[in-house]
């Protein structure tokens, strides 16, 4: 197994630790969750650059990398719902999870019928970056507010987080439609 794929696996392994830090109440747990999330998110950037630079792109990596991203970001949205952030996060989480199931199913269909692995497109990458930025800012804000008592940022951070989360939801829809349009030749409802 090459290094980029090991980094992807590390992101997957970090996900339950991130979610535990996000949900279990212990001193500075939002700070711990923020650090784990940022470190895991950075592996996404590093593994992609490394795979392209050293020609280490594999079908395994093309399949596993987006799956690791989904696991990390969906766990964050589920954590935010559990925290009771608000109705907006519930809708955004629904859009994200719906899209992820649809695209994962599409990838399986394309592999089975066409024998090819669908790599992430630029819109999917924009979606992931926007999600990770929004989640990172939200976790950072929660760390400052809950762990360190800095409440003055509450209003501004809520606006920034809402904009990034809704932007990621829109990008989820756009990238999902683009994936389906690019793979419509593999979709046969009669089979």
* R_g (Cα) of the chain, nearest Å: 17
8 Å CB contact between 153 and 112: no
The per-residue pLDDT for 114 is 74
pLDDT at 50: 94
* Tokens describing residue 64: 């596993």
Distance, CA of 53 to CA of 160 (rounded, Å): 34
What gap in Å lies between CA 72 and CA 65, rounded to an integer? 11
pLDDT of residue 172: 93
Task: Tell me which residue of 70, 82, 78, 98 sits closest to 11, measured CA to CA.
Answer: 70
Kindly report the number of other CB atoms within 10 A of residue 6's CB atom: 12
Candidates 14, 27, 121; CA nearest to 72 is 14
Is 191 inside a domain boundary?
Answer: no
Lowest mean pLDDT among 9-18, 41-50, 54-63, 113-122: 113-122
Biggest CA pair distance of the chain: 58
The number of domains in the chain is 1
Answer yes or no: is 44 within a domain: yes
Average pLDDT over residues 109-130: 82
Q: What is the CATH number of the domain that holds 177?
A: 1.20.120.1760
State mean pLDDT over 58-78. 89
Is residue 86 very low, low, confident or very high in pLDDT (cuts 50, 70, 90)? Answer: low
pLDDT of residue 166: 93
- Residue 56, domain member (yes or no): yes
Mean pLDDT of 32-47: 95
At 12, the pLDDT band (50, 70, 90 cuts) reads: very high
**pLDDT class of 124 with cuts at 50, 70, 90:** confident
Residue 21 falls inside a structural domain: yes
Domain that holds residue 149: 3-186
């Amino acid at each position: 197994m090459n290094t980029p794929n090991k980094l992807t696996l590390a992101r997957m392994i970090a996900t339950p630790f991130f979610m535990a830090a996000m949900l279990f109440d212990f001193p500075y747990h939002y700070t711990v969750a923020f650090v784990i999330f940022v470190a895991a998110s950075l592996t996404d950037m590093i593994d992609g650059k490394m795979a392209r630079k050293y020609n280490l792109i594999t079908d395994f990596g093309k399949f596993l990398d987006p799956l690791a991203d989904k696991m990390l970001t969906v766990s964050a949205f589920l954590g935010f719902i559990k925290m009771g952030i608000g109705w907006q996060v519930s809708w955004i989480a629904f859009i994200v999870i719906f899209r992820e199931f649809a695209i994962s199913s599409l990838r399986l269909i394309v592999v089975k019928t066409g024998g090819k692995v669908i790599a992430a497109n630029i819109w999917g990458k924009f979606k992931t970056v926007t999600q990770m930025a929004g989640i990172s800012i939200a976790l950072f804000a929660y760390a400052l507010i809950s762990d360190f008592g800095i409440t003055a940022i509450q209003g501004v951070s809520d606006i920034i987080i809402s904009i990034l989360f809704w932007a990621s939801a829109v990008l989820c829809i756009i990238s999902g439609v683009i994936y389906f349009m690019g793979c419509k030749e593999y979709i046969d409802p009669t089979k």
